[in-house]
Amino acid sequence: METSSDEVSGLLQDWGGGNQQALEKLVPLIYAELRQMAHRCLYRERPGHTLQTTALVHEAYLKLIDQRDTHWQNRAHFFAIAAQAMRRILVDNARRHQALKRGGPAENLELDEAANVSLDPDPILLPLDEALVRLAEIDQQQSRVVELRFFGGLTIEETAEVLGLSVDMVKREWAMARAWLRQYLSD
């Protein structure tokens, strides 16, 4: 069943106003889209990544639920915040893996758990995060466009809606940001 953007936006605003019943109605409407977003994020990850789609959705969901004081503008605003949460989760996960690789704190693992641990951090995620932080210092808007498009999987049109920009402006910012990132990451 296809849900309208207006229905999701209305439920988000009701939930932001403290209506718990709105949250109960909202979760089934957004869950599939959060899974798709998480799947797109993990698709770009290294092979053998230990974080699964469902786990990423649930971790992001817990972060989103914690934001009780957020005044959700609309559906696109919610998914922009979800993209930000997923980025943070993936970066934190990559940093943990990198710390383990460098001999970080030892953990006792069951044999089944140990078989699922990969000590190789995603080779692009941490440099990309560093590049986005650097880009944000130069041009916050371009950094936001990349985050929404890359981590959130938002379309050009949805990104324009979230940022309150024209579609043409988002296309220009996206092209310039990609060129800057390509140069930064190749150095």
pLDDT tens string 105-148: 545 444 344 334 443 445 677 888 889 999 999 999 999 899 88
Domain-ending residue, one of 121, 149, 165: 121
Whole-number pLDDT of residue 155 = 86
Please check whether residues 88 and 152 belong to one and the same domain: no
Q: What is the pLDDT confidence band of residue 12, given thresholds at 50, 70 and 90? A: confident
Number of folded domains in the chain?
2
Least Cα distance to 125 among 99, 88, 180 occurs for: 88
Where a domain ends, among 121, 141, 166? 121
Separation of CA 144 from chain center? 11
Stated pTM of the model: 0.66
Range of the domain at 187: 124-187
Q: What's the rounded Cα separation, in Å, for the pair 187 and 181?
A: 10
50-54, 69-73, 85-89, 110-114: lowest mean pLDDT where? Answer: 110-114
Give dist(CA 35, CA 40) in Å, integer.
9
pLDDT digits (tens, 9 = 90+) for 145-176: 998 888 777 889 988 988 889 999 999 999 99
| Claim to verify: residue 101 and residue 157 sit in the same structural domain | no
Domain's final residue, options 75, 99, 121: 121
C-beta separation of 130 from 187 below 8 A:
no
Whether residue 184 sits in one domain with residue 142: yes
87 & 137 share domain: no
- Supply the pLDDT for residue 123: 62
